[in-house]
Amino acid sequence: MTNTDSQAGRIEKDNSMRPEGESDWPIFVVSLSVATERQAEITRQMQEMGLPFSFVEAADCRNGVPAEFEPQIDRPGTIARNGYPMSNGEYGCALSHLKIYDMILSRNLPGAIVLEDDAILTEAFRDFWKARDYAGYDFVQLCYFDARYWRWPKHVAKSGVELRYLAENAFMNAGYLVSNKGAAYLLEGGRPITTRADWPCDVTRLKAALTIPPIIRHPVPELAQSYIGERGSLIPAGFDFSAGYAKVWKRLVSIAAWRRFLMKRLSIRTTPGF
């Protein structure tokens, strides 16, 4: 590896280095300084695959959101948008990903690969990065739990990885790529923070795709340590997640309901899980 700091597993804060090669997109790994076991494991995977990368220090909000970050957060807006509050850890996760977008723009990078420190790499991911198959996209989800993609078109990249355009936002941000344009869009839509890091706005307005199957995997949440906190404890009992959708006869006169009806029939659902 060319990045000696990454080899040592040390956190690079505001000076993460770009990999060698002017046209290469850097690989950033978001991590808390205390997550030494995760850092050691992701470093081992990167070294075995010959991939240069940099750690970017995550916002540590486990014991509350530091005062310096509060201006970026809209707590009443969070409740108005979601119907319930977010944990401090969820705010920290969102802040950390916004930091990456800021870095992409401030350094005028063409884009970057963003990974969580507990990501599980595949050989397909290695081949995808080395073939620079990220070029030409504003956003590609490399890891997802449940997603919908349009039936057409289908694109097989040079590395052999299949890409399909997203029909709607897909849950999970453990591994994705974002262009300079995409970073600007997510940064504008993500501040002030009113929702979780995945995703603050409609990514399908970008040239957004996903890989079939995911080329980054994620540990099963029940078996992995989480720094985000208990999300479920903040959701009111009996909360109606479908409250924002038209129901019964109102669906017949709802433009949003008809759009969703057509989208479901023109798209394919995939549920790879973790």
Each of the 274 residues of the chain gets a pLDDT tens digit; together they read 334 344 333 344 433 444 444 468 999 999 999 999 999 999 999 999 999 999 999 999 989 999 999 999 999 999 999 999 999 999 999 999 999 999 999 999 999 999 999 999 999 999 999 999 999 999 999 999 999 999 999 999 999 999 999 999 998 999 999 999 999 999 999 999 999 999 999 999 999 999 999 999 999 865 556 666 655 568 878 777 777 776 777 777 688 888 899 999 999 999 998 7
pTM summary value:
0.87
The span from the CA of 179 to the CA of 195, in Å, is 21
Structure tokens at 258: 């008809």
3-state SS class at 77: helix
Contact between 170 and 144 under an 8 Å Cβ cutoff? The reply is yes
Cα–Cα nearest to 96, from 32, 34, 178, 53 = 32
Helical packing angle, 36-49 and 123-130, nearest 10°: 60
Three-state DSSP at 154 gives: strand
Longest dimension (CA), the chain: 62
Number of H helices and E strands in the chain, helices first, is 7, 11
61: Cβ–Cβ under 8 A, 6 or more apart, which residues? 69, 88, 89, 91, 92, 95
Interhelix angle 88-106/180-190, rounded to 10 degrees, is 140
* Residue at token pair 């300079």: 180
Pair of tokens at residue 176: 């994705």
**In this structure, are residues 12 and 30 in contact, taking their beta carbons and an 8 Å threshold?**
no
Buried/exposed code over 185-217 (b: 16+ C-beta within 10 A; e: otherwise) = bbbeebbebbbbbbbbeebbebbbbbbbebbbb
End-to-end Cα spacing for the chain: 28
CB atoms within 10 A of CB 9: 16
Which contiguous run of DSSP H or E holds residue 38? helix 36-49
Rounded distance between C-alpha atoms, residue 93 and residue 106, angstroms? 20
Q: 196: Cβ–Cβ under 8 A, 6 or more apart, which residues? A: 86, 90, 93, 94
pLDDT score recorded for residue 3: 42
